[in-house]
Structure 1
């Protein structure tokens, strides 16, 4: 089940977010969240959703504008799934809910700016859900070990 997050979810959400940040192969962030910065970060989004299984948060997503003004109808999102819960289509559930919430908020396009080319699981989900790859940005993402990988921006009309 995917639903809007509550304050009670924050410890699990922060753990999941920090797990992905620490892996250093998907999110551009390098600094981990603590309870204060995590509460502020998740509250500042247009929408934050969580995937819950057996009363435990196993995934989280954030949704926010990708730009302002004349491009304000385009949104952006990030998804994180607990490492031991991956491979069970939780990420796909998060993306589907995100698209519904984005549409409710008046967004018309969902765009991902920096999908790491080697993140094949995420790319398969996006393509299965109708996202189109815009192109490739060579060496657009610095991996945790310092080498650079290509990024593949994606978009989908809502």
Structure 2
């Protein structure tokens, strides 16, 4: 399988919504509780500073995606925030690494100087390992900062990387 990371296209919306909604429905990584319809997905992904899509170059299937946008405004507007989602059946195949690497490059190109993650759930071991491998530093922990789908509260760990 050959994978390219490219810009989101409206024709990706159905598959991208599936990938995004899979993470939302799992209820242990994204803060969102509502899934996206296909029209909402088009609007949401196009409203970001950038949405990158990891696609299988042979089949065109969307395997994962990321959104990139400012973490704040004004004097803190040079800090980006990203969220990553990988289709459940292809996790562990380094799609996330490709997405994170691309997001770092794209953030630089768009004038961001830092990427900050506000809410990496402490129980998300694969994400924590990936971010460590990709050079992110842990900033601190917010005890009980994330409410899981089943109502438990888990710690969140803030991360950042200087680009």
Q: Give me the TM-score of the superposition, normalised by structure 1.
A: 0.99
Matched, 1:82 2:115: no
Cα RMSD after superposing both structures: 0.6
SS in 1 for 2:85: strand
Unaligned runs of 5+ in 1: none
Counterpart in the other structure of 1:10: 13
SS in 2 for 1:98: helix
Residue-by-residue CA offset, 1:86-113 (whole Å, 9 max, x unaligned): 0001011000000000000000000000
Paired residue for 2:136, among 127, 131, 136? 131
Matched, 1:42 2:65: no
Equivalences for 1:98-109 in 2 at 5 Å? 98-109=103-114
1:5 Cα deviation from its structure 2 partner: 1.2
Matched, 1:122 2:127: yes
Residue-by-residue CA offset, 1:51-106 (whole Å, 9 max, x unaligned): 01131100010000000001000000000000000000101100000000000000
Paired residue for 1:97, among 102, 107, 121? 102
Q: What is the rounded CA distance, in whole Å, between the counterparts of 2:38 and 2:153 in structure 1?
A: 31
Q: What is the rounded CA distance, in whole Å, between the counterparts of 1:148 and 1:104 in structure 2?
A: 37
Q: What is the rounded CA distance, in whole Å, between the counterparts of 1:39 and 1:5 in structure 2?
A: 9
Counterpart in the other structure of 2:161: 156
Q: Give me the TM-score of the superposition, normalised by structure 2.
A: 0.96
